[in-house]
């Protein structure tokens, strides 16, 4: 089992710090992840947020690449519904070359209405745009001239250079049936969260077979949502992290158009893995087991606004006491 950390560079108003400090601290956690034995570092994307959720993945990945030499560098996710596939192909190729071939590209259509409205994209077409993006990326990364005629993109005799060191692994993110079918249909890896139902994963594997792909060659990477926080004492750790998780959960509820939790005391503690290493390890086993063949697990390395020394301590405890249990 391999483990990676997920970072988003957020700087919420309630814990607002100088932006340069937040970026330097987050980059240092990415570097620490390699030193501590994590296999990968993943970044995620959103736009026009009040907390600075990372809007530009590839410059940040390139900065991490310059500070590291081994960890895989992933996107979880690039919002393909908000991106032109040629620009995506170019940005991914440059980042892959700068990292020495360490890039892994996770794609998702996106969901937040404000982003589509402000950036001028039709939210209803996000799934179809993602489908066409996958097809265009494969052609673009050959380095050969190609044309493409789709419903959303019409390309005539274009060529993309440079090309990646080798085509990066492409992942389709999400826990829905549509995401499972999309990944299986195109013969791509699937990146759900650990709460995804086994039925959705069965659908993914069936769709792979229906389109001529052997599921044995497609291990899963799964995201632990909402979070993991390793600490010496469960009660003390919960007090340290709970307001940050309350913010995290409420922000996602807001983006999905759902009511948030009125008080931090309403936060359902069972959603989170917070406690000493053995407790966290057991919780991970319980969440992984229903999904079957999971090759990698990623989780938030730093909850929004959490002091960096606490985030680092959690990662150190995970590295020292949890990683060996899954070796």
- Per residue in 10-55, pLDDT (tens digit) is 999 999 999 999 999 999 999 999 999 999 999 999 999 999 999 9
Q: What is the mean pLDDT of the chain?
A: 97
Q: Which of left, alpha, beta for 52 (phi over 0: left; psi -120 to 50: alpha)?
A: left
Please say whether the beta carbons of 39 and 69 come within 8 A.
no
Q: Cα separations (Å) of 114 from 55, 78, 134, 196, 304? A: 14, 17, 24, 26, 21
Rounded CA gap, 311 and 300, in Å? 10
Place of tokens 């993943």: 42
Q: What is the pLDDT of residue 292?
A: 84
Q: Tokens representing 47?
A: 């736009």
Q: What is the pLDDT of residue 219?
A: 86
- Chain centroid to Cα 161, Å, comes to 26
Whether pTM exceeds 0.75? yes
- Per residue in 305-322, pLDDT (tens digit) is 999 999 999 999 999 999
Q: Treating both helix axes as pointing N-terminal to C-terminal, what angle do 19-35 and 308-317 enclose, rounded to 10 degrees?
A: 10
Can you tell me whether residue 160 is helix, strand or coil?
Answer: coil
Strand-strand pairing, 154-158 and 146-149: antiparallel
Percent of the chain having pLDDT more than 70? 100
Q: In a 10 Å sphere around its CB, with 0-12 CB exposed, 13-18 middle and 19+ buried, how is residue 248 labelled?
A: buried
Mean pLDDT of 84-95: 98
Assign 323 a pLDDT band (cuts: 50, 70, 90). Answer: very high
- Chain centroid to Cα 244, Å, comes to 19
Q: What is the pLDDT of residue 123?
A: 96
Assign 78 a pLDDT band (cuts: 50, 70, 90). Answer: very high
Q: Tokens representing 33?
A: 């992840």
Rounded CA gap, 26 and 30, in Å? 6
Rounded CA gap, 73 and 277, in Å? 25
Start-end of H helices in the chain: 19-35, 57-67, 85-98, 113-119, 126-140, 177-186, 198-210, 234-255, 277-288, 308-317
**DSSP label at residue 155:** E
Q: Report whether pLDDT(172) > 90.
A: yes
Mean pLDDT of 277-296: 94
Q: Tokens representing 265?
A: 């005391």
CATH fit for domain 2-326, picks 3.40.50.1460, 3.20.20.30, 3.30.1130.10, 3.30.1780.10: 3.20.20.30
Assign 293 a pLDDT band (cuts: 50, 70, 90). Answer: confident
Mean pLDDT of 96-117: 97
Mean pLDDT of 117-146: 97
Q: Tokens representing 326?
A: 């899954």
Closest-CA residue to 76 (of 225, 217, 254) = 225
Closest-CA residue to 108 (of 182, 167, 18) = 182
Q: Report whether pLDDT(210) > 90.
A: yes
Q: What is the pLDDT of residue 212?
A: 97
Mean pLDDT of 69-75: 98
- Per residue in 219-272, pLDDT (tens digit) is 899 999 999 999 999 999 999 999 999 999 999 999 999 999 999 999 999 999
Angle among Cα 61, 67, 68 to the nearest 5 degrees reads: 85
- Chain centroid to Cα 238, Å, comes to 24
């Amino acid at each position: 089992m391999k483990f990676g950390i997920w970072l988003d560079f957020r700087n919420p108003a309630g814990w607002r710090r100088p932006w340069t400090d937040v970026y330097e601290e987050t980059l240092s956690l990415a570097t620490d992840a390699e030193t501590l034995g994590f296999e990968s570092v993943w970044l995620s994307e959103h736009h026009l947020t009040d907390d600075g959720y990372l809007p530009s993945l590839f410059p940040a990945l390139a900065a991490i690449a310059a500070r590291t030499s081994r960890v895989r560098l992933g996107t979880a996710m690039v919002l393909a519904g908000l991106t032109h596939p040629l620009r995506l192909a170019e940005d991914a190729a440059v980042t892959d070359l700068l990292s020495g071939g360490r890039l892994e590209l996770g794609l998702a259509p996106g969901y937040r209405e404000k982003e589509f409205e402000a950036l001028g994209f039709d939210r209803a077409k996000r799934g179809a745009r993602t489908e066409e993006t996958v097809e265009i990326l494969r052609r673009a990364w050959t380095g050969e001239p190609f044309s493409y005629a789709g419903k959303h993109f019409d390309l005539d005799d274009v060529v993309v250079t440079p090309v990646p060191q080798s085509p990066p692994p492409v992942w389709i993110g999400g826990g829905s049936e549509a995401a499972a079918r999309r990944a299986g249909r195109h013969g791509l890896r699937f990146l759900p969260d650990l709460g995804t139902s086994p039925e959705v994963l069965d659908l993914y594997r069936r769709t792979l077979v229906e389109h001529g792909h052997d599921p044995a060659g497609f291990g899963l990477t799964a995201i632990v949502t909402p979070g993991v926080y390793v600490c010496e004492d469960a009660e003390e750790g919960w007090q340290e992290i709970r307001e940050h998780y309350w913010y995290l959960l409420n922000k996602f509820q807001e983006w999905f158009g759902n009511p948030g939790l009125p008080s931090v005391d309403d936060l359902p503690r069972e959603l989170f893995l917070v406690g000493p290493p053995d407790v966290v390890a057991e919780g991970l086993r319980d969440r992984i087991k229903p999904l079957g063949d999971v090759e990698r697990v990623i989780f938030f390395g730093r909850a929004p606004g959490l002091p960096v020394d606490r985030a680092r301590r959690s990662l150190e405890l995970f590295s020292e006491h949890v990683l060996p249990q899954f070796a």
